Chain A
Amino acid sequence: MKQVLVSVLLYAISVSSFAQPVFMTRNGKISFFSKTPIENIEATNNEVTSLLDIEKGELVFAVLVKSFRFDKALMEEHFNENYLESTKYPKATFNGKILNLSKVNFKVSGTYEIEVGGDLTIHGVKQYQTATGTIIVSPDKLEASSKFVIKLSDHKIEIPALVAEKISKTVEINVNCIYAPK
């Protein structure tokens, strides 16, 4: 019986102490917005997968480019066909870290300002990107949001001269994810 106890204990210890400190979402929301005097371009993706390791502060995102929804179907087609080339580059990813991890206490509920930095890969082009945002810690979930601006030229997304007036050279990106323990 002693043996049973030891082995069960050993197993319990191994599970608890090495449980993943990882939080996840499968339906995070990322939207973007481009504003010009002629036309606003806006799209939303509600199928963003993201993982957050609260011990290491690591934060990763995967976004299916085809899952961005536009108000205008033709815009969506052009976005996929001509600009993001989603057949060639189906996914956009982010692989980064919370830079000020020490300022966030994941054990205490509250709102924390965070700084994030890492590799943002869009259209197959990797670019180091930083962003500020907030993280709301509550007992059963984490809610993270951020707003930042990217330059299309950083990711080799070409805008032909013909439509240059309709498409802004920079795009504002909004991220909103509610994470649950994985």
Chain B
Amino acid sequence: MISDNDVAKIASLARLTLTPEESSRYAAELSRILEYVQQLDSYSVEGVEPLSHVHGASNVFREDTPTPSLPFEGEVSTNAPDKSGRFFRVPLIIE
């Protein structure tokens, strides 16, 4: 079971703000979904290697040669929600 507390913790990790309605709704839905996926517990996976790359490729490289940069002017600059000169701008970061 996913508690409201769990939902709050997950939402904070995922940087989402949920309304109280959303929170209780997600708590219920997530509980159902997680309960459903727990059927995986009934499969024996002993000695099975986890599959993260389906076609088994390995060692894909690029050589250390430069490629052209994207100009800041143009789409990059247009897409920036807030900027100052050539910088992206955000509220003051407190360290």
User: Do they bind each other?
Assistant: no
Interface positions of B (Cβ within 8 A of A):
none
A residues touching B (Cβ–Cβ < 8 Å)?
none
